[in-house]
């Protein structure tokens, strides 16, 4: 009727007709099933293998373990790089570092041209709210785009270009959740998206008395307090292993207090009936090192302790109690959300893929993804003409790490190959030079696979697109036969 009236009459519509049309429109809107809500919890600096939910022998995460029975837990999940800003940029844009250009320090903000999860949800009618403890995600850098409300829970004096340790206030998880809870208590007329970024396991380690007592040795009388200064005591830790143990115990206590706050928050959500039609994601932006590869903290390394993080996904249609060991990473979160929330893909290509096939069937793991790209800024890698990057790939069995990469170029100077089955701590890599020398066919495949993944990323193509790579037909055929090529 509306079309007829508009087509045949240019006169103003009578008030009664307008009212009827509005009523029809309103009823039509009401009949559309509302989209599920989304709560995304990101814990800064949470390495997966220090969670009892991932098999850690100390009980650091009983609540996460309990929660995992309600959703799907990803056991081979990666943050791609070990630094907050590029990692969260990858989470929200489904682009690797070479695709979004965000390094760490410096003035570079997110390009408005990039697809951005909060903005996509905002345009889809979601109420979008963020509670963010890390000044690396300062609104001035564009991380607040698409949020109706972006609450920075860090020093208001924080300069995003020159951040100082004092800018980390480290509001405890319980207080961050309390702020989110207060907001959630309001009646939501639209589906909501809450992004909650916690900071407890990030240094300095300052666990509460109760958690400290649970994980540290009461007889310890050494010099370590968990302060920022402790992170530089590498030589000291080598000389006094008990101090490193204490340092690690303080980290575990921070993980445990985060887990306890998570448990209380989920209990509250359950009590308020807010989880019935909600996707709840629990993940991390990167891990933390305890001298496994010569340092403490986190920076540019791509070893497992620095980039392997948890992902628990609870939500409508997501199997309960399933554990998935397919290769997946933060780059996949946005495409998966578009899939499960039934939202259209943005015009610009995403570099991740929907995780739904990994939980909806028993996929051939290699066929789903033979290799996952790792990519982060190199030391001091600020946005410049050709900033150095660190790159690698992880497969179901191996890791390949490159040295001497530039952001826009696929080349490398040396590669190091680790067999994760026999060397899970990545201590005995085999070094490869570009001449490939007397490399075994299997190692040669890994080198080619690394090159394929880098070229795909630099092409900004979808994971299934044909990469631009010149290889002899027999080598291409071999990669195809191994499931590495479509």
Residue 233 vs 286, nearer CB to Zn ion: 286
User: Rounded distance, CA 118 to CA 195, Å?
Assistant: 9
* Residues from 413 through 472 that contact Zn ion (CB under 5 A): none
Confirm or reject binding of residue 254 to Zn ion (CB under 5 A).
no
Cα distances (Å, whole numbers) of residue 437 to 1, 79, 413, 478: 75, 32, 14, 19
- Structure tokens that stand for 326 in this block: 């397919």
- Structure tokens that stand for 442 in this block: 């299997």
Phi, psi of 118 (to 5 degrees): -60, -40
Residue 163 vs 324, nearer CB to Zn ion: 163
Nearest to Zn ion by Cβ — which residue?
A: 84
Q: C-beta of 85: minimal distance to Zn ion in Å?
A: 8
Q: C-beta of 204: minimal distance to Zn ion in Å?
A: 14
Q: C-beta of 330: minimal distance to Zn ion in Å?
A: 12
- Structure tokens that stand for 143 in this block: 């991380």
Confirm or reject binding of residue 306 to Zn ion (CB under 5 A).
no
* From 171-179, 282-290, 333-341, 403-411, span contacting Zn ion (CB under 5 A): 282-290
Q: C-beta of 154: minimal distance to Zn ion in Å?
A: 12
* From 98-106, 108-116, 146-154, 283-291, span contacting Zn ion (CB under 5 A): 283-291
Select from 37, 42, 43, 44 the one that contacts Zn ion (CB under 5 A).
44
The answer to whether 101 and 383 have CB atoms below 8 angstroms apart is yes
User: Rounded distance, CA 146 to CA 285, Å?
Assistant: 20
Residue 200 vs 259, nearer CB to Zn ion: 200
Residue 61 vs 84, nearer CB to Zn ion: 84
Half-sphere exposure of 47 (CA within 13 A, CB side): 21
Tokens 């037909």 correspond to: 473
* From 40-48, 186-194, 318-326, 349-357, span contacting Zn ion (CB under 5 A): 40-48
* From 36-44, 110-118, 166-174, 357-365, span contacting Zn ion (CB under 5 A): 36-44
* From 14-22, 82-90, 240-248, 449-457, span contacting Zn ion (CB under 5 A): 82-90
Residue 93 vs 216, nearer CB to Zn ion: 93
Select from 52, 60, 84, 358 the one that contacts Zn ion (CB under 5 A).
84
Burial class (CB in 10 A: 0-12, 13-18, 19+), 126: buried
Q: What is the dihedral of CA 41, 43, 48, 54, to 10 degrees?
A: -50
Cα 380–Cα 385–Cα 388 angle in degrees, nearest 5: 40
Q: C-beta of 45: minimal distance to Zn ion in Å?
A: 5
Residue 109 vs 201, nearer CB to Zn ion: 201
Site string for Zn ion, 85-114 (x = CB under 5 A): ------------------------------
Burial class (CB in 10 A: 0-12, 13-18, 19+), 22: exposed
Q: C-beta of 304: minimal distance to Zn ion in Å?
A: 17
* From 11-19, 137-145, 281-289, 378-386, span contacting Zn ion (CB under 5 A): 281-289
Residue 341 vs 389, nearer CB to Zn ion: 389
Cα 180–Cα 129–Cα 45 angle in degrees, nearest 5: 70
| Helical packing angle, 333-340 and 84-93, nearest 10° | 30
Residue 285 vs 426, nearer CB to Zn ion: 285
Residues binding Zn ion: number (CB under 5 A): 3
94 torsion bin: left (phi>0), alpha (psi -120 to 50), beta (else) = left
* From 38-46, 70-78, 351-359, 421-429, span contacting Zn ion (CB under 5 A): 38-46
Residue 44 vs 254, nearer CB to Zn ion: 44
DSSP result, 295-308:
-EE-SS--SHHHHB
- Structure tokens that stand for 289 in this block: 């090192």
**β-bridge partners, 42:** 197, 283
Contacts of 404 (CB under 8 A, 6+ apart): 411, 412, 413, 414
CA 96 to chain centre: 11
Q: C-beta of 43: minimal distance to Zn ion in Å?
A: 9
Q: C-beta of 202: minimal distance to Zn ion in Å?
A: 6
Burial class (CB in 10 A: 0-12, 13-18, 19+), 15: exposed
* From 30-38, 39-47, 265-273, 345-353, span contacting Zn ion (CB under 5 A): 39-47
Q: C-beta of 286: minimal distance to Zn ion in Å?
A: 5
* From 99-107, 171-179, 275-283, 284-292, span contacting Zn ion (CB under 5 A): 284-292
Q: C-beta of 109: minimal distance to Zn ion in Å?
A: 17
Tokens 């785009």 correspond to: 145
* Residues from 208 through 237 that contact Zn ion (CB under 5 A): none
Which H or E element spans position 43?
A: strand 37-43
Which H or E element spans position 150?
A: strand 149-152
Confirm or reject binding of residue 285 to Zn ion (CB under 5 A).
yes
Q: What residues make contact with Zn ion under the rule CB under 5 A?
A: 44, 84, 285
């Amino acid at each position: 009727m509306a079309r007829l009236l508009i087509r045949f009459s240019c006169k103003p519509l009578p008030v009664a007709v307008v009212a009827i049309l509005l009523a029809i429109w309103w009823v039509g809107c009401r009949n559309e099933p509302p989209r599920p809500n989304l709560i995304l919890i990101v814990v800064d600096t949470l390495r997966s293998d220090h969670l009892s939910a991932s098999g850690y022998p100390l009980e650091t995460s009983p609540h996460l373990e309990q929660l995992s029975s309600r959703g799907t837990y990803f056991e081979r999940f990666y943050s791609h790089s070990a630094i907050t800003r590029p990692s969260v940029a990858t989470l929200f844009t489904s682009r690797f570092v070479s695709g979004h250009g965000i390094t760490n320090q410096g003035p570079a903000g997110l390009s408005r041209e990039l697809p951005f999860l909060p903005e996509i949800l905002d345009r889809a009618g979601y109420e979008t709210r963020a509670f963010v403890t890390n000044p690396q995600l300062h609104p001035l850098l564009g991380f607040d785009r698409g949020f109706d409300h972006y609450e920075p829970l860090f020093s208001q004096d924080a300069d995003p270009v020159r951040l100082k340790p004092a800018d980390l206030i480290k509001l405890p998880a319980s207080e961050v959740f309390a702020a989110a809870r207060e907001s959630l208590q309001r009646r939501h007329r639209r589906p909501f998206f809450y992004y909650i970024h916690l900071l407890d396991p990030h240094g300095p380690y300052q666990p509460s008395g109760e958690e400290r007592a649970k994980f540290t040795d009461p007889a310890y009388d050494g010099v370590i307090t968990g302060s920022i200064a402790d992170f530089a005591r590498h030589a000291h830790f080598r000389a006094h292993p008990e101090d490193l143990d204490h340092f690690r115990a303080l980290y575990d206590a921070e993980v445990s207090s985060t887990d306890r706050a998570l448990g209380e928050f989920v209990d509250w959500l359950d009590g308020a009936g807010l989880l019935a039609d909600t996707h709840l994601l629990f993940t991390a932006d990167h891990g933390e090192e305890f001298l496994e590869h010569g340092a403490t903290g986190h920076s540019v390394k791509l070893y497992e302790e620095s980039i392997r993080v948890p992902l628990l996904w609870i939500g409508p249609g997501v199997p309960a109690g399933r554990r998935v060991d397919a290769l997946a990473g933060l780059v996949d979160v946005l495409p998966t959300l578009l899939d499960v929330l039934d939202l259209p893909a943005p015009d610009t290509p995403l570099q991740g893929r929907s995780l739904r096939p990994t939980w909806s069937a028993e996929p051939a793991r290699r066929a789903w993804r033979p290799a996952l790209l790792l990519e982060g800024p190199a030391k001091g890698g600020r946005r410049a003409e050709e900033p150095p990057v660190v790159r690698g790939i992880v497969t179901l069995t191996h890791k390949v790490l490159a040295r001497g990469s530039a952001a826009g170029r696929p080349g490398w100077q040396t590669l190091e190959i680790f067999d994760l089955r026999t060397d899970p701590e990545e201590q005995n890599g085999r070094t490869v030079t570009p001449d490939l020398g007397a490399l075994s066919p299997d190692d040669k495949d890994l080198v080619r696979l690394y090159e394929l993944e880098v070229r795909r990323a630099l092409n900004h193509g979808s994971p299934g697109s044909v990469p631009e790579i010149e290889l002899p037909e027999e080598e291409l055929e071999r990669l195809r036969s191994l499931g590495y090529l479509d």
